[in-house]
Structure 1
Amino acid sequence: MKKLQFLFIVWLFPLLLISQNKISKSEVQKIIKESQIQKKNGRISLPSIKSWKFNNVDSLYFKSDTLIAIQNKTNTQNDFCKFIDWTFYQKKAFILGRCSFCKEPPSRMVTKYPKDYFSIAIYEVENKTMIDILRYDKMIVESFKVIKIESDEKFIKIKLVRRFIPKPYDEVY
């Protein structure tokens, strides 16, 4: 009987470790590094397939406490009518875009590269990976806890939970 209990515990322990699904700082940094777009003739093409896209129907990006960023691995496009995107052009810097394909003509607003940008700080607190979004490397405008990362052959999905509700981005544009 004790042998059976020991085998059960030995079998259960690795399962518990796997189920915790701790997301490391280096894992997030790797995804960002792979998301960086390359400049062509000193210019950036937006939106990029590599951009992190967030659904923004009914201003969901600004209202929801839980967000899912989708980064395409292939040329597959998302079915989002409206979305916010983060396009990384450096190791820790990105351009924020706001797109709407709901009506004709489609519209797109972006922060100005390179003088108007956001930077990202990734760090760990109590075994949880956090992301802070900074404006001009100085002021934290958003803060997230990384909850989950899923990957398949077409997409990487990064689930984020807000640590506080930000001010509207309307002053950004």
Structure 2
Amino acid sequence: MKIKLIIIILIFTSVSSFGQSVLKSELKKMLTETLVKSRNYVSDATNSWFYDNTENDYKTQDTLTFKTARSFKRDYCKIINWTFYEWNKFRLEFADYCNEPPTKLASKNEDYYEFLVEEKDKNIFVYLKNVNGIQDKFKIVELTKIEPIDSGNDQFDYRIKLTRIK
């Protein structure tokens, strides 16, 4: 009986969704963690949150899911990266890995965004602001921390699900 209880607890804690209860401070902590851990020397380190843009729907899709895991198999053709260089600032990147040679578009001035976070009525809203002002608005509908495939202090695996506000 005790073993079953431990297994249930382990399963429950291995995938934990913060969802609506996520706080602005928790989001900042998570973004900071991914940035700090990505700077540890690991050959496949990344500070990017990526979205599968194979359907070319990044600008039109109402719900976007971004992932962070270093260990996640990226078998997408086209990827949108939010590559953070500070916890609240990122560079928007467009990459195509299905054509030879694989390509990533050079970043322009308007590809640099500020990630503005607002907590209102127990919800978290994110505003993406570049040199031209606020370009996108999202509500965080789910924030999930998943136990990474690889163990170690430099591993992380988060997923964030955003709903576009029009």
Counterpart position of 2:107: 111
User: Using the alignment, how far apart are the partners of 1:159 and 1:39 within structure 2?
Assistant: 26
The verdict on how the C-alpha distance between 1:104 and 1:152 changes in structure 2, with shifts beyond 3 A counting, is same
Task: Please give the per-residue CA displacement for 1:1-49, whole angstroms capped at 9, x wherever unaligned.
Answer: xxxxxxxxxxxxxxxxx99741211121112112225499xxxxxx952
Query: Does the CA contact (< 8 Å) of 1:48 and 1:87 recur in 2?
Result: no
Q: State the identity %.
A: 28
Is 2:54 the partner of 1:57? yes
Q: Pick the aligned partner of 2:146 from 149, 152, 158.
A: 152
Structure 2: gaps spanning 5 or more residues:
1-16, 149-156
Counting matched residue pairs gives 138
Give RMSD over aligned pairs: 2.8
Q: Pick the aligned partner of 1:121 from 109, 116, 119.
A: 116
Displacement of 1:67 in angstroms is 0.4
Displacement of 1:109 in angstroms is 1.3
User: Using the alignment, how far apart are the partners of 2:32 and 2:134 within structure 1?
Assistant: 21
Task: Please give the per-residue CA displacement for 1:25-84, whole angstroms capped at 9, x wherever unaligned.
Answer: 1121112112225499xxxxxx95231001101212112100000011x34432221110
Is 2:143 the partner of 1:143? no
Structure 1: gaps spanning 5 or more residues:
1-17, 41-46, 165-173
SS in 1 for 2:56: helix
Decide which moves more: 104-113 or 92-101: 104-113
User: Using the alignment, how far apart are the partners of 2:125 and 2:55 within structure 1?
Assistant: 26
Q: What is the TM-score normalised by the length of structure 2?
A: 0.72
**What pairs with 1:41-120 in structure 2 (closer than 5 Å)?**
49-72=46-69, 74-112=70-108, 117-120=112-115
Q: What is the TM-score normalised by the length of structure 1?
A: 0.70
Amino acid at match of 1:71: T
SS in 1 for 2:68: strand
Query: Does the CA contact (< 8 Å) of 1:119 and 1:134 recur in 2?
Result: yes
User: Using the alignment, how far apart are the partners of 1:95 and 1:48 within structure 2?
Assistant: 16
Higher relative contact order (CA 8 A, sep 6+): 2
Query: Does the CA contact (< 8 Å) of 2:18 and 2:144 recur in 1?
Result: no
